[in-house]
Amino acid sequence: MTMVEVPGEFTVPRRSWGDDEVFDREMQQIFRHCWQYVAHESEIPEPGDYVLRKMGRDQVIVVRDESGQVRVHLNTCRHRGVPLCRADSGNASHFRCSYHGWTYANTGELRGVTYQADVYGKGGLDKKKLPLFSPAQVDSELGLIFATWDPEAPSLRDYLGDILWYLQLIFGKHPNGMEVVGTPVRNIVKANWKTEGENLSGDGYHTTITHSSAFDLGLFATQKDLVKLADDVAPKFTGRTVDAGNGHTMRIQRLPLRLQGNHYFGYPKEMWAGFDRMLSPEQQQAMSCLSVGHGSVFPNMSFIENFKTNVDGPDLHARYARITVRYPIDATTSEQLWFFLAPKGADPEWARLSRLAYLRTNGPSGLFEIDDTENFVGISEASVGDVSRTLPVIIEGGKHHPEAPPELGWPGNVVDGDKTERTIRAFHRRWSELMDLPAGDAAGTGAAR
């Protein structure tokens, strides 16, 4: 591995975004051990409901068994390895292999072996010993289902730690819960799996540059829009970023409004009392006057709640929530899944506006995403050359930003200022710990947050 001279104390070698050797190590050191988001409970509400997902490069079936328990199974027959399930989603009490017909219950137990006596002799095969291979732990929080292959991994609650408080802001404030609307969209991106996560981790630095055409098209709230929302407009947007530990991060940007009390902009007023019931006073404060909130759960899940003015006519405001996950395919290719979530039982007209707002901005065909993806693809393309792969990237931004006042009561390490790269440093600090690479290749210690 090549040693590089690096400016500053926190850099990452660029080969991390396009090198097969690094990629293979990530699959072993990160994806074999970390909890990974696999599905939302609303996607499999009934016994037998299943969806096909991935953990790292392995395809898994996420299924609710007849007793209501959520199970996750590797989608491969224990006999000679044929995938058992070919449909993206459906309902099944059993999965039957298309090759020799072995049949498994949705609990994972092997129930039927065709021609068993002929092929294996009497007592020659013990079905009990051949259940589907399954992750060591499966659990959910706020309807978000995660799984890990590692029996030694901490509980999901401990793994999420402080980021759970922030996930509640988006996924835990609706008294009736949330549901995934429609089938998650999938697309293949010619970019390393890490690039979108770095961006969504809290990169408030790129917005006005990468997304300048979105400003030109009026996709962002302007001063004129904001004046209609409040009597007093503050001079500028303000933001905070959070290093929530374990590589999990969050960015919260506030609308530049001066107001008394909670104002959940973009939601119908009838929903506000419900949020006040579900959220602590500190969480209510974090969501009041929210412009955008986004973050990442290490390693490959990101989430965003955003707000759009003038969605389908002047003064129609709507907010939306989204989850994305990135499945690694190879060092410069990933598959991305997009989940649009809506509060259960929301007013249908507001729900329509919310979906429209999402589609135009942070949906798979939304302008923000097209702009961002150009950058992600570019990073991988420009990091595989014989010279470029030896260079570092520099993620030193925002080190001088002050810590937020502790009386704010937000968990994690919270800093005032959102044009920063500290959340990307937090991601790479965790990446580096797990990868355990030789000193010259590892990210800096990142002692300064």
What is the chain's length? 449
| Region from 74-82, 218-226, 283-291, 410-418 binding ligand FES, contact rule CB under 6 A | 74-82
Instruction: Examine the residue annotation and report whether 401 is marked as an active-site residue of this protein.
Output: no
Residue 266 Cα distances to 21, 110, 253, 367, angstroms: 46, 50, 14, 20
In the complex, the smallest distance separating the C-beta of residue 322 from Fe ion, rounded to whole angstroms, is: 13
| Region from 13-21, 47-55, 97-105, 310-318 binding ligand FES, contact rule CB under 6 A | 97-105
Q: Which residue, 41 or 369, has its beta carbon nearer to Fe ion?
A: 369
120 binds ligand FES (CB under 6 A): no
User: Which residue's entry shows tokens 């429609």?
Assistant: 182
Using CB under 6 A as the binding criterion, the count of chain residues that bind ligand FES stands at 9
In the complex, the smallest distance separating the C-beta of residue 210 from Fe ion, rounded to whole angstroms, is: 5
80 binds ligand FES (CB under 6 A): yes
In the complex, the smallest distance separating the C-beta of residue 83 from ligand FES, rounded to whole angstroms, is: 9
265: left (phi over 0), alpha (psi -120 to 50) or beta: beta
| CA separation for the pair 99, 80 (Å, rounded) | 8
One of 39, 70, 72, 77 touching ligand FES (CB under 6 A): 77
| CA separation for the pair 242, 398 (Å, rounded) | 12
One of 30, 70, 97, 138 touching ligand FES (CB under 6 A): 97
Q: Which residue, 101 or 378, has its beta carbon nearer to ligand FES?
A: 101
Q: Which residue, 10 or 104, has its beta carbon nearer to ligand FES?
A: 104
- Nearest C-alpha neighbor of 295 from the set 257, 239, 256, 238: 239
Instruction: Examine the residue annotation and report whether 203 is marked as an active-site residue of this protein.
Output: yes
In the complex, the smallest distance separating the C-beta of residue 81 from ligand FES, rounded to whole angstroms, is: 6
In the complex, the smallest distance separating the C-beta of residue 177 from Fe ion, rounded to whole angstroms, is: 28
Instruction: Give the one entry of ligand FES, Fe ion, none that residue 80 binds, where binding means its C-beta sits below a cut-off of 5 to 8 angstroms depending on kind.
Output: ligand FES
Instruction: Give the one entry of ligand FES, Fe ion, none that residue 372 binds, where binding means its C-beta sits below a cut-off of 5 to 8 angstroms depending on kind.
Output: Fe ion
| Region from 77-85, 168-176, 196-204, 263-271 binding ligand FES, contact rule CB under 6 A | 77-85
- Nearest C-alpha neighbor of 283 from the set 403, 164, 175: 164
Q: Which residue, 75 or 373, has its beta carbon nearer to Fe ion?
A: 373
Residues linked to residue 51 through DSSP beta bridges, in sequence order: 62, 89
Q: Which residue, 199 or 288, has its beta carbon nearer to Fe ion?
A: 199
79 binds ligand FES (CB under 6 A): yes
| Region from 31-39, 88-96, 154-162, 368-376 binding Fe ion, contact rule CB under 5 A | 368-376
| Region from 25-33, 151-159, 297-305, 366-374 binding Fe ion, contact rule CB under 5 A | 366-374
CB of 175 within 8 A of CB of 198?
A: no
418 binds Fe ion (CB under 5 A): no
One of 41, 372, 418, 421 touching Fe ion (CB under 5 A): 372
Instruction: Give the one entry of ligand FES, Fe ion, none that residue 419 binds, where binding means its C-beta sits below a cut-off of 5 to 8 angstroms depending on kind.
Output: none
Catalytic residue among 58, 100, 276, 371: 100
Using CB under 5 A as the binding criterion, the count of chain residues that bind Fe ion stands at 1
Catalytic residue among 211, 317, 401, 428: 211
CB of 73 within 8 A of CB of 97?
A: no
Q: Which residue, 97 or 178, has its beta carbon nearer to ligand FES?
A: 97
Catalytic residue among 372, 418, 428, 441: 372
82 binds ligand FES (CB under 6 A): yes
Instruction: Examine the residue annotation and report whether 347 is marked as an active-site residue of this protein.
Output: no
Instruction: Examine the residue annotation and report whether 294 is marked as an active-site residue of this protein.
Output: no
Q: Which residue, 8 or 81, has its beta carbon nearer to ligand FES?
A: 81
Which residues contribute to the site for Fe ion (CB under 5 A)? 372
Which residues contribute to the site for ligand FES (CB under 6 A)? 77, 79-80, 82, 97, 99-102
Active-site annotation, residues: 100, 203, 206, 211, 372
